[in-house]
Amino acid sequence: MASTGPGDRVNMLEGFVEDIAKGHLPNIAKELGLGAEWKHNRKAFISKSMVAGLVIGLVVYGLCSKRKMK
């Protein structure tokens, strides 16, 4: 199994920026295979979604609480 390195992530970001520049909004959920994950591995999908939601919530909370302190 090939691992994804920093170059792969840079290429993905560059491709995303090129799509936006051309006026094409990519379907990120489909490109990441989220539909297949939901269909074939629902338990893992839900777990990953919950963790992602928790992390995003903590980041937003942290950013908002720092603004109130200033």
Tens of each residue's pLDDT in the chain, 70 residues: 455 666 677 788 888 889 899 999 888 888 888 999 999 999 999 999 999 999 999 999 999 987 665 5
CB-based contact 19:25 (threshold 8 Å): yes
- Joined tokens for residue 65: 């609480």
For residue 52, the model assigns a pLDDT of 94
- What is the distance between the terminal CA atoms of the chain, rounded to a whole angstrom? 48
